[in-house]
Structure 1
Amino acid sequence: MVYESIIEATEEFDAKYCVGVGGHGSVYKAQLRTGETVAVNKFKEAVEVEIASQKAFEREIHTLIRARHRNIIKLYGFCSSSRHSFLVYEFLELGSLKDILNGEERITTFDWKKRLNVIKGVAYALSYMHHECSPPIVHRDLSSKNILMDEEYEAHVSDFGTAKVLRPYSSNWTSFAGTFGYVAPELAYTMEVKEKCDVYSFGVVILEVIMGRHPGNLISSLASSASSSSSNSTASCWHLKQALDQRIPYPHGDTLGEVAFIVKMALTCLSAKPEHRPSMQQVSQEISAHRSIVIGASGDIKLEELVDPGCFPY
């Protein structure tokens, strides 16, 4: 009955109900006969992608059945028939974090308090996946497009089609997965999946939330600075004031100190060496403590002063 209701609500998956497109299919908004609105992720059916889509479909089901957390998307059910394969989720009103950051409509209301709350929510979800699920779950494709937002600006990690369960005593080597610009650098020469890969992606997401855009140039500057002893490196030119999103008022007081600490945490997560990155459990504990950094009278600080290599030598 639910299957037929979804087909009816989307008019056989008409394009006008499509609210997003992912690597393995498209997401549709469906209002059921009960009045409830759900999101339906319909997987591709073309012959050339059928095997990959089927694997992603099964992987997402198995992962979301095991992972239950307020900051992880809720899976209501799934359907696999000769006609269609799809997953049914809760519908989140504001769409993806990427949509919010790229749009001008809501950006002025996406203030520092809401942004810090989004970062905390994602940290809690990843800490749960890495440290409270047994065996641990690695997302492998954390990015702003895979973080969905409800009307309270609460973050929900989604799209587990490439997630990897780290089973003990088995190989955790796998094919490449992830979104360009968010993938940990070690995956360029090794295909071994570890939790620290998610930690790096989380660092990118933090900076994207704080800057209002993907931090590609800043990450490149930090990487070149780490490999250079010169004080004239490009990273030394970056200041907190220029890095923060200019579309909303500059933070002050305790909020500025907390934003600066979050940036410091992001830079630690982006360490080129996985062993120098904190675990997500450490990150969530630090964030929960509402730590802040004292900023001088100028209200600014160089980002290189926030870089603390070897802070978490685990």
Structure 2
Amino acid sequence: MELRELNLSHNELVGPIPSSFQSMVGLISLDLSYNSLEGPIPESNFFQAAPLEWFTHNKGLCGQVHGLPLCHQSWSASKGDEEKQHKIIILGVPLIFGILFILFLISGICTLLYYKKKRSTVNDASEEFDGHFFSIWRVSDGKEAYKEIIRATENFDEKYQIGIGACSIVYKATLSSGVTLAIKKIQEEEVQLNEEAFRNEIQALTKIRHRNIVRFYGFCSTNKFNFLAYEYMERGCLGTNLRSEQGAVELDWIKRVNIVRDIAQALSYLHHDCHPSIVHRDITSNNILLDEEYKAYVADFGISRLLKPNSSHWSLLAGTYGYMAPELAYVMRVTEKCDVYSFGIVALEVIHGTHPGDLLSNLSLSMLVKDMLDSRLPLHNTDQVTTNQVLLVILIAMQCIDTVPQARPTMQEVSQRLSSPKYLPTSDNYSYQALTLNHLVNIV
């Protein structure tokens, strides 16, 4: 009796395929699938009858060892089965290639996603910038400037944040040239809502050049980022310095008077030297920046308005509470006098050290002027000239916050008075300690 069919599948067999199969000349069917047998294939008619195209080179059986068929097939070498076997292979090869192609495609997609996440921010910037516009002074290649900013901030990593606004975050970016910029990036969830503010700021800043207005270097607008590039100010915003104990002490009275004068000059330029005039509409201590020498710069023109001729200048309520002119609550008509009021509040804040809300709520002509001063910075030790200038700032600020817009001075008048201060004869009639607000406002 000769062995014709043999099924050794699922037996966890290991090692080489036994050479004893060579003597089984009557064998027509063999199943060695789901084992761990290895080649070489025995030299016998049975094994040699199978075409090599049927086999793969992976370890294991079930059609996965060189010289063995697919694991669900117990093949025979009889010529009657040869046509069936070829059909299996004809269908199987395209299927294998199809599976391999799909696996390759999935692997490629995963690899691309991985490297997209891990690739350098410079390469990332190169792709994102394509098809978008960047404008920057004295830089001919906007794409390179964009890449530099992305690299310098490591794709806007939070460790480079130097300020946070209502709809934007400001980052410090030191370029390879050594130039340091302040990058104001519109928050992604706010891009659509603040598109008008973004355009307003660009429109305003490309029209103006003044020594007390923050220098604008350029802007970027892509489908992912909207940001503006400014000159970096080493000492940050005025409000932060006033709120800091150390910063407030370093801001002596001479520096504070000069800061108020700088702001006045910037606003006078916007109102009287620009055509059409520009109203900032958001003059606050947080929108005044200081450089290394404590020189002040007006910043953030996101809600500024051009006062075009023959326009009503009606507007929705906009600005920062505590700094907005009171008439905006019921008139909502934008004029230069709105900025004048805001300037008066900031000027008082510079002198008082904090927002003057507590002063305004208890304001009376009998109030002592010394109670309006920053208690962290004594005035009685300063010279008469400086004291005179501080009192002048208070006097002008009180006129600027008049509830009647028409009674407020223009910023041109304010700038001229601060630049050429006249002597206030207060010391002739009143001691500094006894000087009241009534005495001050009645000085002509």
Which residue does the alignment assign to 2:329? Answer: 188
What SS does structure 2 have at the residue aligned with 1:190? coil
Give identity over the alignment, percent.
47
Contact 1:173 1:192 (8 Å CA) reproduced: yes
Q: How big is the shift at 1:82?
A: 1.5
Which residue does the alignment assign to 2:8? Answer: none
Question: Over residues 47-79 of structure 1, what are the superposed CA-to-partner deviations in whole Å (9 max), with x where a residue is unaligned?
Answer: xx3333111111000000111100000100110
Q: 2:209 aligns with which of 68, 91, 96?
A: 68
Q: Deviating runs (4+, > 6 A) in structure 1?
A: none
What SS does structure 1 have at the residue aligned with 2:246? coil
Give the direction of change, closer, same or farther, for the CA distance of 1:174–1:308 in structure 2 (3 Å limit): farther
Question: Normalization by structure 2: what TM-score?
Answer: 0.65
Distance 1:294 1:95 in 2: 36
Q: Which amino acid in 1 is paired with 2:180?
A: T
Where structure 2 has 5 or more consecutive residues not aligned to the other structure, the ranges are 1-143
Matched, 1:53 2:184: no
Give the direction of change, closer, same or farther, for the CA distance of 1:270–1:215 in structure 2 (3 Å limit): same
Matched, 1:244 2:387: no
Contact 2:426 2:440 (8 Å CA) reproduced: no
Where structure 1 has 5 or more consecutive residues not aligned to the other structure, the ranges are 223-234
The one of the two structures with greater contact order (alpha-carbon pairs below 8 A, sep at least 6) is 1
Aligned residue runs from structure 1 range 42-191, under 5 A: 42-46=185-189, 49-191=190-332
Matched, 1:275 2:406: yes
Distance 1:6 1:256 in 2: 45
Q: Which amino acid in 2 is paired with 1:248?
A: L
Q: How big is the shift at 1:221?
A: 3.0
Q: 1:211 aligns with which of 330, 333, 352?
A: 352
Q: How big is the shift at 1:278?
A: 0.2
Contact 2:191 2:226 (8 Å CA) reproduced: no
Aligned residue runs from structure 1 range 298-309, under 5 A: 298-300=431-433, 301-307=435-441
Q: Which amino acid in 2 is paired with 1:246?
A: S
Q: 1:35 aligns with which of 168, 178, 184?
A: 178
Which residue does the alignment assign to 1:23? Answer: 166
What SS does structure 2 have at the residue aligned with 1:213? coil
What SS does structure 2 have at the residue aligned with 1:79? strand
What SS does structure 1 have at the residue aligned with 2:170? strand
What SS does structure 1 have at the residue aligned with 2:314? coil
Distance 1:144 1:102 in 2: 10
Alignment RMSD, CA only?
1.5
Rg larger for: 2
Contact 1:71 1:124 (8 Å CA) reproduced: yes
Matched, 1:200 2:351: no
Aligned length: 296
